[in-house]
Amino acid sequence: MIKIKIRKKLSKKNYLLLAITAFVVLIAAWTIASVTGSIDAIFLPNPTKVLNYYVEAIKDGSLLENTSISLYRILLGFILAVILGIPVGILMGTFQKVEAVVRPLCEFIRYMPVPAFVPLIMVWVGIGENAKITVIFIGTFFQLVLMVADDALSVPDDLINAGYTLGTSTTQTIFKIIIPAMLPRLMETLRMMIGWAWTYLVSAELVAANSGLGYTILKSQRFLATDAIFGGIILIGILGLLTDRLFAFVNKKLFHWSESAH
Amino acid sequence: MSLFKKRNILPVRDSHIEANLANSKIYAKNIKKIYHSTKGDTLAMNNVNINVLENEFVCIVGPSGCGKSTLLRMVAGLDEISDGEIIIRDHAIIGPGADRGMVFQSYTLFPWMTVGDNIKFGLKLRKIPAKEQEEIVDKYLKVIKLEKFKNSYPKELSGGMKQRVAIARALANSPEVLLMDEPFSALDPQTKADMQLLMRQIWQVEKPTVLFVTHDIEEAVFLSSKIYVLTSRPGTVKKEVPVFLPYNRDLSLKDTENFINLRKEVNALIDHSSI
Ligand SMILES: Nc1ncnc2c1ncn2[C@@H]1O[C@H](COP(=O)(O)OP(=O)(O)OP(=O)(O)O)[C@@H](O)[C@H]1O
Ligand SMILES: [Mg+2]
């Protein structure tokens, strides 16, 4: 047994065990704090009340309805950002001419706080579905372009040169070398971006909606229904975690060849 | 096919005749390379003249930073020539192409493709019939003794195996010349010696025209039929040394007197003062 602790490998079982313990401790602490009454129920609802809220919301169908409308918005906004952002990012990471045009613009816009765009977007596209999709789009697009460009730039020069010396043209180099080589990193980027999309979804629904999970949270605040607020926040967390795990799983299956895959 | 088209539209060069008479594959004349940067210009090499004949194995040695890689990249069409010209058989260089295969110091196998598909990559680009592609892949897998790894991914290979596949991938494309930039320098001494022997054997059988850069003098003497020794920066050819050693070589050659003398002779030519 040698005594090295830094970056020591942990078995999969123990890893999972510790992860579950962390959740159990959190929920236990919450339960104790609320059941003993040391924190007022207005601030911290009893876990059973949150569970009750879920049961009620599932019964009257509002949970499913709000979740699906939120998922719909996220998917549409995200897919739009991905469809437009990936080609722009790849071109930017491949041709400096494109980078010179696009990078400064993106760097500038991405520092603008997305929630501040919400009123403007309402003026531009109204308060319909398009408004929420636009918020998610604006929130993710510029960041995505920059990150995809970095993914493209991360492809080693000599991999591209190897392609050239085997006879690839410029177009072939992009499609047969750069894109396949960057795919694992690109998918990791998408995995991160969908997390951001959830954040912007809530920004959008807090202000300009009358349905969706964000809206449910806001509405509950008016009635001081902390159980519903908790329920909404936790549900978003779970959905985020699920999408993240799904991405991680697909990436691992798809990119088994990747040198960095573990 | 496209190679022929490219060749036909190229302007006629005076140097054609000179180069063709000598049966030359790479003819570099008065090469100058200046790197421009914000700190000012760097003269990396000046007045470099090199002539690689058909089927020759030519090594370039020289102190670190003398421009060996730069020269190879210019031949490959990956770097701009500041002055002078390089002619490949009978045409000037207008960029990289399949006629100049290259093996790099870093590992450059495409990690998403199997070993077989890596070797097949250039053949597919050239739209060689599928059956022929398979035959060529199998042939070169045999040459590099990795038949069992046809369906493996690069991450399952050792460094030496990766470089062997890289050599096969370049050779499978039947280039006019094979350019190699310190392909074995990242390998351990044992693997390196094995690779040198394999490389020599491949050359004796397949007869590619090779331009090989190394800073390992022993490697250069063992492999080549001719060595160009470059001076330190700005690099220029100090001497062209013919390697008069037996044609059939194995590692025991390294212990013979002739080999050791030649190695010492080349070593004495290298400018060691730069460090
Ligand atoms: N992109 C660049 N910008 C500026 N200077 C460069 C650049 N690339 C190379 N050089 C300079 O040109 C000279 C030749 O470089 P090169 O890499 O060809 O040397 P080398 O002989 O291959 O060296 P080594 O044996 O270390 O590989 C070096 O002095 C280097 O500093
Ligand atoms: Mg070098």
Instruction: Single out the residue of B225, B228, B196 nearest to residue B62, CA to CA.
Output: B228
Instruction: Single out the residue of B228, B223, B225 nearest to residue B269, CA to CA.
Output: B228
CA-CA distance, B133 to A122, in Å (whole number)? 59
Interface confidence (ipTM) of the complex:
0.89
In ligand 1, the atom with minimum distance to the C-alpha of B63 is 25
Centre a 10 Å sphere on the Cβ of residue B65 and count the other Cβ atoms it contains: 15
Reported as a pLDDT band with limits 50, 70 and 90, residue B164 is very high
pLDDT digits (tens, 9 = 90+) for B177-236: 999 999 999 999 999 999 999 999 999 998 999 999 999 999 999 999 999 999 988 889
- Report helix angle A213-222 to A179-207, nearest 10: 30
B108 CB within 8 Å of a chain A CB: yes
3-state DSSP assignment of residue B64 = coil
Verify whether the Cβ–Cβ distance B111 to A172 is below 8 Å: no
Per-residue model confidence (pLDDT) at position A35:
85
Give the phi and the psi of residue B225 in degrees, each rounded to 5: -110, -10
Instruction: Single out the residue of B213, B181, B8 nearest to residue A162, CA to CA.
Output: B181
3-state DSSP assignment of residue B81 = coil
Instruction: Single out the residue of A198, A84, A70, A76 nearest to residue A141, CA to CA.
Output: A84
Least confident interval from A155-164, A221-230, B136-145, B156-165: A221-230
156-215 in chain A: CB under 8 A from chain B: 156, 158-159, 161-162, 164-168, 172, 176-177, 180-181, 183
Two structure tokens written together for A123: 């003026």
Whether the Cβ atoms of residue A191 and residue A248 lie closer than 8 Å to each other:
yes
Per-residue model confidence (pLDDT) at position B3:
44
Instruction: Single out the residue of A101, A82, A81 nearest to residue A92, CA to CA.
Output: A101
Verify whether the Cβ–Cβ distance A259 to B169 is below 8 Å: no
Centre a 10 Å sphere on the Cβ of residue A34 and count the other Cβ atoms it contains: 20
> Which chain A positions have a beta carbon within 8 Å of B102's beta carbon?
161-162, 165
Instruction: Single out the residue of B266, B238, B201 nearest to residue B57, CA to CA.
Output: B201
Of A165, A258, A259, the CB nearest to B101: A165
Q: Which residues in chain A show pLDDT less than 50? A: 261-262
Give the phi and the psi of residue B90 in degrees, each rounded to 5: -140, 15
Instruction: Single out the residue of B128, B117, B217 nearest to residue B168, CA to CA.
Output: B117
Centre a 10 Å sphere on the Cβ of residue A208 and count the other Cβ atoms it contains: 21
The residues, ordered by sequence, that sit 6+ positions from A192 with a Cβ below 8 Å of its Cβ are A147
Instruction: Identify the residue whose tokens are 């040394």.
Output: B241
Please provide the average confidence, as pLDDT, over all residues in chain B.
Answer: 89
Half-sphere exposure of B178 (CA within 13 A, CB side): 26
B65 alpha carbon, closest ligand? 1
Let me know if A241 is exposed, middle or buried by CB neighbors in 10 A (0-12, 13-18, 19+): exposed
Whether the Cβ atoms of residue A213 and residue A66 lie closer than 8 Å to each other:
yes
CA-CA distance, A230 to A225, in Å (whole number)? 9
Whether the Cβ atoms of residue A149 and residue A94 lie closer than 8 Å to each other:
no
Per-residue pLDDT at B17 exceeds 80: no
Reported as a pLDDT band with limits 50, 70 and 90, residue B275 is low
CA-CA distance, A56 to A41, in Å (whole number)? 19
pLDDT digits (tens, 9 = 90+) for A172-196: 999 999 999 999 999 999 999 998 8
B76 CB within 8 Å of a chain A CB: yes
CA-CA distance, A162 to A154, in Å (whole number)? 15
Verify whether the Cβ–Cβ distance A167 to B126 is below 8 Å: yes
Least confident interval from A175-184, B19-28, B145-154, B168-177: B19-28
> Which chain A positions have a beta carbon within 8 Å of B123's beta carbon?
none
- Report residue A39 CA to chain centroid gap: 32
> Which chain A positions have a beta carbon within 8 Å of B100's beta carbon?
165
* B71 vs B1, higher pLDDT: B71
CA-CA distance, B32 to B24, in Å (whole number)? 20
B70 alpha carbon, closest ligand? 1
Let me know if B126 is exposed, middle or buried by CB neighbors in 10 A (0-12, 13-18, 19+): middle
Per-residue model confidence (pLDDT) at position B223:
95
Centre a 10 Å sphere on the Cβ of residue B257 and count the other Cβ atoms it contains: 7
Domains for chain A: give ranges and CATH numbers. 50-261 (1.10.3720.10)
pLDDT digits (tens, 9 = 90+) for A4-14: 888 888 899 99
CA-CA distance, A180 to B11, in Å (whole number)? 37
- Give Cα separations from B34 to B62, B72, B81, B84 (angstroms): 18, 15, 8, 12
Instruction: Identify the residue whose tokens are 């697909």.
Output: A250
Nearest CA to ligand 1 atom 29: B65
**What is the DSSP pairing of strand B210-213 with strand B177-181?**
parallel
A237 CB within 8 Å of a chain B CB: no
Asked whether B31 lines ligand 1 (CB < 6 A), one says no
Let me know if A75 is exposed, middle or buried by CB neighbors in 10 A (0-12, 13-18, 19+): middle
3-state DSSP assignment of residue B125 = helix
Strand blocks (E) in B171-220: 177-181, 210-213
Measure B258 CA to nearest chain A CA, in Å: 37
